[in-house]
Structure formats: C-alpha cells, structure tokens
Amino acid sequence: MIRILLCDDHRIVREGLKQILADTPDIEVAGECADGPEVVRQARVQAIDLVLLDIAIPLQDGLDVLRQLKQEMPRLPVLMLSTYPEKQYAARCYRLGAAGYLNKSADTEQLVEAIRKAADGGVYVSPHMAETLAAELSARTAHTQRAAHESLSHREYQVFRLIAAGRSVKEIADQLTLSPNTVSTYRSRILEKTGASNDVGIAMYAVRHQLLPV
C-alpha cells in the first residue's frame, strides 16, 4: 500500500483526488493538508510513502516546501501537482528534487502511474516533459542563451512570481518571512536580470513567458 500525504489549498480538489485514488487498491490517502507548514509538520510525524504537493499553497511556497522536505527527508518522494505550465515549472521542480511533475489536467492513468513510479524510487517524466528537458539539455550543450528567468535563484524566483501576481513588498516579506529590505534587494536583482523597468514590466514578462497559473 502506498500511503500518500495530499496537500492542496482547495478542498474540492483534495476531495476529487481522494475520490479518484479511492478506486486504486494499492494507493491510500493517509493525510491531507491545505498549507505549506502543515505539509512539513505532517511529513515529520506520519508514516507516509509519498507527498502529493501543489505548488500554489498558502503560508509557504510549494517550491520552498519541496526544498525543505528534500533537505530533511531526502528519501521521501515528492510529486508536484499544479496548474502552472509544465514547460516553465517542471524543470525547476526536478532540479529541487521532485520525483515528478503533473499538471492538474492530467488524466487518472497518468496520476496513478506517476505515484507508483515515484513511490518505487523512480522519477516520473511525462512524454511532453521529456521532450522539453531534452531540448533544454541540447540548448545548454550548444551554449544557446537561456531565458532570463532561468538565471533567477530559488528565492529570486519566488519573489518574481509574487511580484508578477501583484503582491506588494510588505505582502511578499510577510509571506516569505523576509524583511522588506531583503525583498527590495531581490526585486532589484530581478529587474536587472529580466530587463524589466518596474513591477508592471515584471508582470508583463511573466505573462509573455507563461509563468502565471492558468
């Protein structure tokens, strides 16, 4: 039996996933939560085999939760499930140690396959993502210039997404537990790296590169 910790801030999504997985005899949802800190807390105390984690969760960014889980429990598989475009977010998740990435539009067979593979110690990569990763590797080998956002650090990328979503410096500081001055420093680096001149420019860059949830 594969015991799963399910994290999504939308109850209707959690209920839907539980209903789907209830028909799979070798998979059990052992726990559920709606925010980042609760994922970490439950993962520390529950006997689970895999975490099914949404990226856009409250209180602590899903990518940050992924990084923390891999630091504390490196052998615990974390499967990312999101509405964010696979092309732009999956590669970053894999670099942080995710055992797989699925868009929420994936069908039931894909979800079950990904869970089984990740729980067995493998890494699930969809056919579409395999092509994307191969193209990225080929581009790097050929020294092709990468998109500006790919040069952002993990924390810069978090701040970038929140700015693009219209959050203020204070709101970002509160959410990421940073000082406003630190957020402003990250913002300056983001402006420099992306070539944007202000927050509107950052938002336009995010839209142009499909980096906002659909």
The per-residue pLDDT for 135 is 60
Return the structure tokens found at 142.
């050929």
What are the phi and psi torsion angles at 105 (to 5°)? Answer: -85, -5
Residues 128-141: tens digit of each pLDDT: 777 666 665 555 55
Q: What is the DSSP letter of 121?
A: T
On the question of a common fold for 2-136 and 148-208, the answer reads no
The per-residue pLDDT for 136 is 59
Give every residue of the chain whose pLDDT is below 70, as ranges: 85-88, 131-146, 213-214
Q: Which residues contact 47 (CB under 8 A, 6 or more apart)?
A: 3, 30
The per-residue pLDDT for 76 is 96
Cα–Cα dist 77/69, whole Å:
9
CA 154, chain centre distance (Å): 11
Q: At what angle do helices 62-72 and 86-95 cross, to 10 degrees?
A: 20
Domain ranges, ordered by start, for the chain: 2-136, 148-208
Return the structure tokens found at 32.
């559920």
Q: Which residues contact 75 (CB under 8 A, 6 or more apart)?
A: none
Cα–Cα dist 38/59, whole Å:
9
Q: Which residues contact 6 (CB under 8 A, 6 or more apart)?
A: 14, 17, 18, 29, 31, 32, 33, 52
Model confidence, pTM:
0.73
- CATH code, residues 2-136: 3.40.50.2300
The per-residue pLDDT for 132 is 64
The per-residue pLDDT for 85 is 67
Sign of CA dihedral 64, 66, 67, 73: positive
The per-residue pLDDT for 57 is 87
- Candidates 1.10.3720.10, 3.40.630.30, 3.40.50.2300, 1.10.10.10; correct CATH number of 148-208? 1.10.10.10
